[in-house]
Amino acid sequence: MTQNDRFSRGSEASSQCLSLRETRFIDALAEGETHAHAASVAGISERTGRRWLHKPHIAQALRNRIAESRSQARAVLAAGARRAATELVRLAGNARPDSARVAASKAVIEASNTIDELEELDSRLAEVEAALVAGRRAR
């Protein structure tokens, strides 16, 4: 593998470089593709892709990529939640029903809340995992 075949994505540790194939595989999985399709996109076998997921740097890169996607989604939903709340307040004072917009506004707010809850759980899980790893190293 040449020097040009390896690079680092911005969200990953600066010391960790991934090959283009690894990055394509991770990106496809993070976008919700199946293992088979992600492997195909990366130009590897599905079996190789599954083996890669057991490599710590690949697993961490995938977690980082998913966290990055969630963060971006949360920002979009947070902006939408403010507009949705404003719309709900406006519609509450309006005499004519506009159930479609009300339902959509509620859905945006609920999605934003769900993403916040998932972010909190993800953070707590990472802390637990780090504590477990530290405990194993201390033995």
pLDDT (tens digit, 9 = 90+) per residue, 76-122? 888 888 888 787 777 766 656 677 777 778 887 888 888 889 889 98
Per-domain residue ranges for the chain? 3-138
In angstroms, the CA 82 to CA 89 distance is 11
Share of the chain above pLDDT 70, in %: 84
The CA-based angle 42-74-18, given to 5 degrees, is 25
Strands (E), 3-135: 6-7, 18-19
pTM: 0.58
